[in-house]
Chains A and B, each alone.
Chain A
Amino acid sequence: MRRLLLALLFVVVLLPGPPVIAQPSPRQIGERDAVTLAPARAYIFYRSPQKATLLFVRIPNEADRAEHAVARTAALARAQEAQRRRRVLCQPDPSAQRCRRLLAEPALTDESFDYPPVLDRNLVLVARNPPFSTETNNSYTYLVEVPPGRYVFYGQTDVAANVGLCLCMGSLSFEVPAGQIIDLGSIAALTIQANLSDPALPARLSGLPVTRADYRAAGKMPNFLSLYIGRHPEVPGVLRYERDVVIDARSGAGVGPVFPAAAP
């Protein structure tokens, strides 16, 4: 019962407020869905030898950053109030074990408040079902409608198998412009294979604007979903590593974090 009350308090305190700008959620297009391209939307397409649930992160634009700042400020205020209330509850018996721990924690500040670097709307989860198509060789394709922007391949999860891994120590990014279908190639075992010997597209995409992804090295990302961690294998001409330093193989320069820690 106590845990439930704490959980309800968490919901009240830490849930972000209503979004300032409503945006359509990503839409996964299945085998029976019509393929109609909306001019203001973008499309990610890829092949996969097996069904898999993949995660992509859209790098925040100005509107995202503004709303994120508002949400973070509100969440900090709620968290500080919750901390204050819990300390008040400890006043009758500050020597109780949970109170000793609570009272020993430093006061939450703007500087010390840990908060995810993106809003939930910047995450794109492409579920293992439904695929866009099932191919004759028992592989699959996936097509998802998303907001336009630059995306990073974040990782993979499988709830049923209790596994999840983020490419937190190096990955690939690609631009997805409005009105276009970006073909990522094939994705298997958290590895993007861009250059395919057989890049044939499903018949349902014939006549539509499909462009192959132009990849860039993407730097480190926080493990804000608490997955196992890894990094994308090196890609000649695009991504390499010097120990844990992510290198843009085109320029030879190091690549900084995707979400640099910055003072709000």
Chain B
Amino acid sequence: MAQSKAACGLATLAFFFGAEAPLWAQVPPASTQIDPASVPMPELAFTPGPDDAANYDKYFYFHRADTDFATAYADLRECDGYARGLASGVDYGANVYPVPNSSAGVMTGMVADMVGAVMSDVIYGSAERRRQRRAIMMTCMGFKGYRIIGLPKALWERFNFEEGNHRVPEDERQRLLRMQARAASGPQPGGAEVRP
């Protein structure tokens, strides 16, 4: 199949020259009992500036009224796993943490090579990867019943992260996800809701 040969070749090149992450993937340790009081609550109150609303599709957090910290943290870890292409099972509450590199590189063979071309850094670039992450988080958390609340960038970047062609170190990732879980399970927000 000419199409498959071309796709395989493109995917191979794209993977080899696009990837910057380590060569292996790691599943994080099990989420031990965490006292939510030990996790700083992000600052969420703000007076909207003239340009803030235009960027709420990029800078936002999740909130659900009937959830607790542990559930919110588990939900965020699961969705983060989808966003970074975690290869292992979906029982993210058990023994899983996100991986340094995309598992698309671990799957080999013609099928994975063909599909890998879709997600290659060479084709997509960092901006598209960041967009993809936002879309996946919105979709996943949306299915779980979370609302999406807009924030100004300055507040957002204190407890969130973007991932383009680099990978956030694991301990930093979990620290930020825990803060997101505090916000997600905290008091009813007053900010503008984002409709994806």
Interface residue range, chain B? 35 or more
Does the CB pair B136–A228 fall under 8 Å?
yes
Task: Determine the residue in chain B with the shortest Cβ distance to A119.
Answer: B109
Q: Which residues of A contact B23 (CB under 8 A)?
A: 6, 9-10, 13-14, 79, 82
Interface pick from A38-46, A195-203, A254-262: A254-262
Minimum Cβ distance to chain A for residue B19 (Å): 8
Partner of A231, one of B88, B94, B135, B143: B143
Task: Determine the residue in chain B with the shortest Cβ distance to A107.
Answer: B26
Does the CB pair B29–A227 fall under 8 Å?
no
Minimum Cβ distance to chain B for residue A72 (Å): 10
Within 8 A of B (CB), among A93-117: 101-102, 104-106, 108, 111-117
Does the CB pair B118–A82 fall under 8 Å?
no
Does the CB pair A104–B7 fall under 8 Å?
no
Across chains A and B, the number of contacting residue pairs, with CB separation under 8 Å, is 200
Residues 128-146 of chain B, each 1 if its beta carbon lies under 8 Å from chain A, else 0? 1000100110011001110
Interface of A is mostly: loop
Task: Determine the residue in chain A with the shortest Cβ distance to B13.
Answer: A7
Residues 3-40 of chain A, each 1 if its beta carbon lies under 8 Å from chain B, else 0? 11011011001111000000000000000000000000
Does the CB pair A114–B7 fall under 8 Å?
no
**Whole-angstrom distance between the alpha carbons of A178 and B144 in the complex?**
38
Does the CB pair B108–A120 fall under 8 Å?
yes
Does the CB pair B118–A244 fall under 8 Å?
no
Interface pick from A134-142, A143-151, A160-168, A232-240: A160-168
Task: Determine the residue in chain B with the shortest Cβ distance to A111.
Answer: B95
**Whole-angstrom distance between the alpha carbons of A222 and B25 in the complex?**
14
With A9-B23, A162-B124, A225-B85 already in contact, 20 other A-B pairs whose C-beta atoms are closer than 8 Å = A79-B23, A111-B27, A111-B95, A112-B27, A115-B87, A115-B88, A116-B107, A120-B108, A120-B112, A157-B114, A159-B114, A164-B119, A169-B139, A223-B85, A226-B84, A226-B103, A229-B139, A241-B143, A244-B140, A259-B89
Residues of chain B having any CB pair with chain A under 8 Å? 1, 3-4, 7, 10, 15-17, 19, 22-29, 81-92, 94-97, 99-100, 102-112, 114-119, 123-124, 128, 132, 135-136, 139-140, 143-145, 169-170
